[in-house]
Structure formats: C-alpha cells, structure tokens
Structure 1
C-alpha cells in the first residue's frame, strides 16, 4: 500500500515548534533558521490545507486540529525513535546507563548484579550515583532507581520498602554495654541529616527518648554512616534492605529485632511507552529479583 505521507522535514519542524510553542526554540533545537521553520510549517499547512497555528497577541497558539495532530505525530516519532534505538542497540549501543542513589547501589543492587551480567553478557552497565532530577534524567540515562514522585510522564515499578532498627559493631555494643533498648538512650548515635526523626521514632516506640539529641556524628549519606557504624563510631538506625549482608558477616549486629516502619520506598523509573531492548532486559531481570 502506498502511504500518503506529508513532507517529513516539515513534520519535524511542526512538531518541534508545537512542542515549544516557539519557532525560535524549534530552530535552535533543529539547528536551522527561524525562517526555515516558518517556511516548513507553512509548507505543511499548505499540504494539509488547514491552519495548525494561530497568533494571539504575539503568542503562538495551536489550533484544535494542530493540537490533535501534534499528539498523533509525537507518538509516531517516538515509535520511530525507539525502533531506531532498538536496531542500533543490537549492533552498537549495548551500554545501559542507570541512575541510582549510592546507598541503594552499594547495599542492594551491586550484590545482585552478577546475576544480570550472567544472563545478559552483551549488555554493559554504566551506573551513575549522582542525584539527577527526574526532569533531566533521560538526557543522560536510560533508567533510574528513585523514591516515588508525582511524575505522570514516567512509569514507576515498586522494588522495595524499608523498616529501621538499631545496628552497631560488636565492639561498640561491648564497649557501651548495650543489653536493652534503654541502654541506647545515652549511647553515641549516628544521625542522617535528611532523616532526623529516625532515632526519636524508634526510641519513642519503646517508650524511650534520646538523652543527648544534639550529640553524635551527622551524615548526609546512609552509606557513609554505615561504614562509620562498622568502625565503631556509634549506633546507627539501619534500613532493612541495606544491612543484612553486614549482619551476616559479623561486621554489624542488631541486638534488638523490633523494627519500626518507614515511608521509604524505591522504584525503577522509566519513561512511559515502549523501552529499548537493553532497558527492557534490565527491567525484567530487576523485577524478578523483587518477586523471587
């Protein structure tokens, strides 16, 4: 069947101009002149025999038909883009870039990655541990692991939540004679700056309070605080997804098994729509780890 396609350069120009509602911004994106964008949009309107834009008080506005056309075109261009990425990934681009916060990477993801490498030896993983905002994420990444956010343009697959309980080195527990939860009230404690209520919540659940809340070391990274706890610098309110290996190896101990629930959760974050093959492979494997 012969397809009735409009001029594709004109389609690209219209999609960019409609997305930005600006010929100037579209010209910058496509590395052409403002005049070229204007001419290509006029060409497309002539080919369709209808107006796609209106100007209202020097502002570019889509007509109803232009708005509907933009929606369909974006889906079609996204499909072309993904099909091209999939084709290239089978020959060239086999590097999957994942943005993941350091603590989750160190203590949850990395220990499980040998299983992924064994299943998909052709996919090379690149981990970024910086806190890139989701709005900028897919300029440099394929997938991310993050707490949930209200961002409808992304798909969130639940990985795990967390409970908390005190952990410490065995030497610390002996040195400070930690035998009951009450012994933690006066013991040196390690604090996470973005979770100041962790210790008060756990102690409060046991009818206790911190006798020296202004003392103890402060950390902005749970991963660094865990290493400080291993080195005997204080007791830490540990998160259950990240401490089991250290307890199993004897680096840390959890003398009191009672946990307190937290609202912390982690999700695999992906753009909505069809994913490239390499991203689909990682998503399928990761969600298997959650359900197994």
Structure 2
C-alpha cells in the first residue's frame, strides 16, 4: 500500500526542531549539519504547501498547522522508538521479566515447575515479587500475574486465570488447644488468619454464621503464603482453598472445618498491548495462561468428584451439618 506521507528524514527533522524550537539544537540531536536540517524543514513545508513555523528573531515557533502535525508525528515517532526498543530486547541473550504475586508464585507457579521456563525458552527470566503498584503497569515488567483486576491500567492485554474459593481450615494442632467447632459461629472463638484480601473472613462469617469478624483475634499478613505457614504452625484458622493450599490439604497439614466456600479473589495475567505484540512475550503470555487454566480445570474436576470433607473429630456417618 502506498503511503502518502513526507520522507522520514523530513519528519524527523520537523519533530526535532518543533521540540527544540531551534535549528542548531535539532541538528546536534540528529547529528547532521544546520544546513541539512534547514533543507528538510523547507522540504516538508513545500510538501504540505504551507508554512509550519513562525520565524521570530531567528527562532522557530510552531504555528497552528505545525502544532496539529506535531501531535500525530510526535506520537508516531514515540511508538516507533518503543517498538524498536522492544524488538532490540528480544534478541539472543535477552531478558524477560515476570512480576508475580508472591503467594501465587510460591504455591502455584513453582510447584508446576516449567510454567515460566517453558514459556520463555532461551530467555533469561527475571522474576519479581515486590508489591505491584495500582497506578500503572510496572515499566520494567513484561508479564504481571496478580489478584487485582487493575481496571485503571490502560492499553493492557488482560486474561482471567482462575478464581479462589475458600473454606475454613486449620492445623490439627490448633484443635488440641481449642474446642472443635460444631457450628460456624464457634469459629469466632478461634484466632483468625487473614491474607491480603482482608474481608474474606468477615464475608464468610456474615453469610454462614450471621456474625462478623469484628472482635475476633485477627492477624493480617500482606502475603498469603505467610498466612498459610502460620496456619500450618497452628497459629489460627484460615480460609483455605484447593489452589494455593493444595499441598497442605493433601498432606493433612490443614484440615477442613466446614465445607461451605466463599469467593475470595481472582487471579489475572497482564501484558501491555505493545509488549504483547512481540512474538516472545506473546508466546510466553499465552503459554502461561493455557498452563494455569489447565491446572485449574484439573483441580476443579478433582474437587467435584471428592466426597465432602468431614471434620477430623467426627466419624463420617455422624458428621453434623452446618447450622
């Protein structure tokens, strides 16, 4: 397709002069002579058959036509620069940065083994677990996995990965120090452990016990993997789930107290539209999404076929129902 636009050298000269409002400074930036820049400005004005600058005492100032042109050409050159930088980064020996919620990384990504590695074959992978800013997509990240949807992030490719549904559980050692609960309201007598989502316990108690978590012995952690570790050590009851707490539930380090579940959080994968347009990042992103969704489907299928968990102090035949 033929594009009816001025020569690129003329566009670059125009944009540089428009920013500097000075021929000499623009020439220094472009590493050409003052005369060469002047010729390119003349060329682009002749191409549009109108002046784009006002000349005042040796300085050049954009007129209304030049200002309109700068908006489009400036954005186009910025996009070309960003795309060039991305492609240069995708060469041999390149790095790719995965920014992931720490609990999800340690309890899901790492046990799956080759999730990130197979998705980024031949690429040095840099994994970050620091807190993710809510204001904008992290500049240094290629892919982000987080439990917030970040609706205020613009120009991003977003994919839902899985949902977390939690139910009360605790370590067997906790039941040696507290009377086994026979109804949901009894959980208020136990210390309650919370993750970054601070309202889940309150929501569960409101729905199934007709009460709240106010006044309980609450402990909050900003990393859910720390919440799980505290629960395993018998520090309190947790809203466990078969995704993040899969190992602890399978090995009996955590035992269910009641079967009723509540939605806690959802996990999403993010990538800027620009980075997703590159083959390496797109391949890694799509692979991570596919692997995690497949893993989630397997867990959901296993959970669906399981018999309802009975509380450890009751025989299956006499297990009491929720009040």
Normalised by the shorter chain, which TM-score bucket?
0.7 to 0.9
What is the match of residue 142 of structure 2? 142
Name the SS of the counterpart of 1:145 in structure 2: strand
SS in 2 for 1:66: helix
1:185 aligns with 2:197: no
* C-alpha spacing 1:34/1:121, structure 2 compared with 1 (3 Å): closer
**Contact persistence 2:115–2:288 (CA under 8 A):** no
Q: Report the CA distance between 1:156 and its aligned residue.
A: 1.1
The 1:219–1:116 alpha-carbon spacing in structure 2 relative to 1, beyond 3 Å, is closer
* Alpha-carbon RMSD: 3.8
Q: Residue 186 of structure 1 contacts residue 212 of structure 1 at CA under 8 Å; is this kept in 2?
A: no
Give the SS at the match of 1:47. Answer: helix
Structure 1 unmatched ranges of 5 or more: 25-31
Rounded to whole Å, the distance in 2 between the matches of 1:199 and 1:206 is: 11
- Which residue does 2:127 correspond to in 1? 127
Tell me the TM-score normalised to structure 1 length: 0.75
- Residues 213 and 33 of structure 1: CA distance in aligned 2, closer, same or farther (over 3 Å): farther
Give the CA deviation at 1:98: 0.8
Unaligned runs of 5+ in 2: 56-60, 295-323
Specify the alignment match of 2:43 in structure 1: 47
Q: Are 1:266 and 2:267 an aligned pair?
A: yes
Higher relative contact order, structure no. (Cα contacts within 8 Å, ≥ 6 residues apart): 1
Cα distance change, pair 175–77 in 1 and its aligned pair in 2 (3 A): same
CA–CA separation in structure 2 for the residues paired with 1:278 and 1:106: 24
**Matched length:** 271
Return the alpha-carbon distance in structure 2 between the equivalents of residues 168 and 290 of structure 1: 26
Q: Which residue of 1 aligns with 2:204?
A: 202
Moved more, 182-191 or 207-216: 207-216
Once the two structures are TM-superposed, the CA of residue 271 in structure 1 deviates from its matched residue by 1.3
Stretch deviating more after TM superposition (266-275 or 38-47): 38-47
Task: Report 1:53-132 matches (<5 A).
Answer: 63-86=67-90, 88=91, 91-93=92-94, 95-118=95-118, 121-132=121-132
Inter-CA distance 173–120: structure 2 relative to 1 (3 Å threshold): same
Deviation, 1:169, is: 0.8
Post-superposition offset of 1:115: 4.5
